[in-house]
Copies of this chain bind each other. A is one copy, B any other.
């Protein structure tokens, strides 16, 4: 019989996780978490070893009331964890410094982020025209044009900029998305100055063969460290898609502790992949993450207490290992 002897030949020895629970997670909770709860969450994430944490979004409180305290939160966190100014040459995998980032939908958000002392921002758009219009009320072209007013100045200020492209694996309105179009947008964001573009399975409909096709195209167009995967576990396939990414050499993954989060404009899209589940799998494969799995489990439990509901991540429920005396 035919084995595939080189299945794991390109699997990286180390990966970097980008934590999105304070932003992508909390913006999708029905209840608004008070500032002290957010501080407790981020402290637990830092204690678990996470170095890249998206803490909030500088968006109008009218749109996302859950994140209305963005300015106050950023200032409090930067005071508690002082970080040096950003450098675009920072290595993404080794010897990372702690870095808080924040989503900024426009120039106004950028100004708030800068005033708060944030040195990495993220911009967000969709690979689906309809989803982009429903989500940010603009066409894809208009969004890219507006990003010129965010990304350019941010880079001039010495900030690092990260891009998100959502609905790459499928759109709740349009269904299938042409991977060529999605990667074209990702490349555009990279060319505009995003050091990394995170490709999102927003509705969590992705399956592994599709992942192989999307990521082959992405890795053909973009440098390896400029590509991240942002997978939702809505249909249980997040880790199986991530395995395929790992086998292709991908080493940047977004995750959310406890599996908190989804997308309010993508119906049925519950659950980012849980940071502790992803780290459990990676550690089991001997892939370094710099994370302390026990403390990640504690962070997931803290997250549950902070949002006041059970979260779907599995490792924090089952425990790291079920050894019995």
Q: Show the binding face of A for B, using Cβ within 8 Å.
A: 1-4, 6-10, 170, 172-173, 175, 203-210, 212, 216, 219, 224, 233-237, 239-240, 242-244, 247-249, 266-270, 274, 277, 280-281, 283-286, 313-315, 318-319, 321-324
Q: Check B172 against A322 for contact (C-beta < 8 Å).
A: yes
Among B224, B234, B313, the residue within 8 A (CB) of A314 is B234
Question: Complex Cα distance A315/B268, Å?
Answer: 10
Q: Which residues of B contact A233 (CB under 8 A)?
A: 236, 314
> Which residue of A175, A236, A277 has the most chain B CB atoms within 10 A of its CB atom?
A236
Q: Which residues of B contact A267 (CB under 8 A)?
A: 322, 324
Closest 4 CB pairs of A and B: A207-B284, A268-B322, A236-B314, A236-B277
Q: Which residues of B contact A175 (CB under 8 A)?
A: 321, 323
Q: Check B249 against A1 for contact (C-beta < 8 Å).
A: yes
Among B2, B173, B209, B248, the residue within 8 A (CB) of A286 is B209
Q: Check B284 against A209 for contact (C-beta < 8 Å).
A: yes
Using CB atoms, name the residue of chain B closest to A270: B318
Question: Complex Cα distance A219/B206, Å?
Answer: 29
Q: Which residues of B contact A8 (CB under 8 A)?
A: 209, 212
A-B contacts, 25 of them at CB < 8 A, read A1-B219, A3-B248, A4-B6, A6-B6, A7-B212, A170-B321, A175-B323, A203-B322, A204-B318, A205-B284, A206-B284, A209-B284, A209-B285, A209-B286, A233-B314, A234-B314, A236-B239, A236-B280, A237-B277, A239-B239, A239-B240, A240-B240, A243-B243, A268-B318, A268-B322
Q: Check A216 against B318 for contact (C-beta < 8 Å).
A: no
Q: Given contacts A1-B219, A243-B243, A267-B322, are A235 and B7 in contact (CB under 8 A)?
A: no
Question: Complex Cα distance A262/B278, Å?
Answer: 22
Q: Which residues of B contact A277 (CB under 8 A)?
A: 235-237
Among B234, B248, B315, the residue within 8 A (CB) of A7 is B248
Q: Check B314 against A219 for contact (C-beta < 8 Å).
A: no
Q: Which residues of B contact A281 (CB under 8 A)?
A: 207-208, 235-237, 240
Q: Which residues of B contact A212 (CB under 8 A)?
A: 7-8
State the Cβ distance, A64 to closest chain B Cβ, in Å.
20
State the Cβ distance, A293 to closest chain B Cβ, in Å.
11
Among B207, B209, B318, the residue within 8 A (CB) of A235 is B318
Using CB atoms, name the residue of chain B closest to A171: B323
State the Cβ distance, A71 to closest chain B Cβ, in Å.
34
Q: A172-B323, A239-B240 are in contact. List 7 more A-B contacts (CB 8 A).
A: A1-B249, A3-B216, A4-B6, A209-B286, A234-B318, A235-B281, A240-B243
Q: Given contacts A236-B277, A314-B233, are A249 and B2 in contact (CB under 8 A)?
A: yes
